[in-house]
């Protein structure tokens, strides 16, 4: 099986669509995956503080300290030598986004969980709800602003990520960031103007959503 053949089993919503839709699709998948991965980490840090939870949190933040090009090159080596069916697939690109931007999702989730009293879930459990059922019915609606903020933050940064997208994107996939980079590298600045303006608009909308949800979380 040649490299990238595994991509036939993955969703190809970006194929044949515009660069903006492809970029939004990849950023949306990354935001969703990072937020889903951040909730257990934030829950462990808030509800079970200790050495193990602190180590997990620091390990997640350590990836954010690394340059994107380092993470991308490491995953290129991993995909080409170990997980070659995933090489140059959307799955590996989304995984790179999650590794790179997971701390940005942990922060809002952790802040929101700190404001939810565990006694609310304990009361639900005394009424017969299981642990995860009590969390889903009581805590999850209360931390919704934090989840929205995490989604918006990761979506914003994933849309602008260039090194990982250049090295790990599947054949035919082009985001707004890579389109702007390729156009400016060739000297076609007019071609890059519209995607750059769109990226600025999306960044502004995401930032406004983050600030709005931060106000809701801090205000209770």
pLDDT per position as a tens digit, 29-66:
999 999 999 999 998 888 888 888 888 888 888 887 88
Distance between CA atoms of residues 102 and 12, nearest Å: 24
Cβ neighbours for 113, distance < 8 A, ≥ 6 positions apart: 42, 43, 46, 47, 139, 143, 146
pLDDT for 217: 53
Mean pLDDT across the stretch 73-81? Answer: 90
Distances (CA, A) of 183 to 28, 174, 195: 24, 12, 10
Closest CA to 96 of 121, 71, 120: 71
Under the banding of pLDDT at 50, 70 and 90, the label for residue 12 is very low
CB 58 within 8 A of CB 50: no
Say if residue 218's pLDDT is above 80: no
Rounded CA-CA distance 210/218 in Å is 12
Q: Between the CA of residue 165 and those of 6, 55, 78, 170, what are the distances in Å?
A: 18, 29, 16, 9
Lowest-confidence pick of 6-10, 124-128, 181-185, 213-217: 6-10
**Mean pLDDT taken over the chain:** 81
Give the integer Cα–Cα distance in Å for 220 and 18.
Answer: 40
In this predicted model, what pLDDT tens digit does every residue of 182-209 receive, in sequence order? 888 888 888 888 888 888 888 777 777 7
Task: Give the confidence band of 3 by pLDDT, cuts at 50, 70, 90.
Answer: very low
pLDDT beyond 80 at 171 = yes
As a residue count, the chain comes to 220
Q: What is the pLDDT of residue 119?
A: 77
Once rounded to an integer, what is the mean pLDDT over residues 162-189?
A: 85
Considering Cα of 179, then 185, then 186, then 192, what sign does the dihedral take? positive
pTM tops 0.85: no
DSSP string covering 113-137, please? HHTS-HHHHHHHHHTT--HHHHIII
Q: What domains lie within the chain, and their CATH numbers? A: 5-218 (1.10.3720.10)
**If we measure between CA atoms, which residue out of 116, 133, 115, 112 comes closest to residue 124?**
133
How does residue 214 score in pLDDT terms, banded at 50, 70 and 90?
A: low
């Amino acid at each position: 099986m040649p490299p990238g053949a595994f991509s036939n089993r993955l969703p190809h919503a970006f194929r044949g669509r515009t660069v903006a839709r492809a970029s939004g699709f990849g950023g949306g998948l990354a935001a969703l995956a990072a937020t889903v991965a951040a909730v257990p980490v934030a829950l462990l840090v808030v509800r079970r503080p200790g050495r193990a939870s602190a180590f997990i949190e620091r390990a997640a933040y350590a990836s954010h300290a690394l340059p994107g090009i380092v993470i991308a090159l490491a995953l290129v080596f991993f995909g080409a030598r170990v997980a070659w069916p995933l090489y140059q697939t959307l799955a590996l690109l989304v995984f790179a986004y999650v590794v790179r931007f997971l701390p940005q999702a942990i922060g809002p989730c952790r802040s929101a969980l700190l404001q939810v009293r565990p006694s609310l879930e304990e009361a639900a459990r005394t009424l017969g709800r299981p642990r995860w059922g009590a969390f889903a019915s009581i805590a999850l609606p209360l931390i919704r602003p934090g989840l929205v903020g995490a989604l918006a933050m990761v979506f914003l940064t994933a849309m602008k990520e260039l090194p990982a997208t250049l090295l790990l994107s599947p054949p035919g996939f082009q985001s707004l960031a890579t389109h702007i980079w390729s156009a400016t590298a060739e000297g076609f600045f007019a071609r890059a103007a519209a995607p750059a303006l769109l990226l600025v608009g999306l960044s502004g909308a995401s930032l406004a959503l983050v600030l709005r949800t931060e106000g809701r979380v801090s205000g209770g």
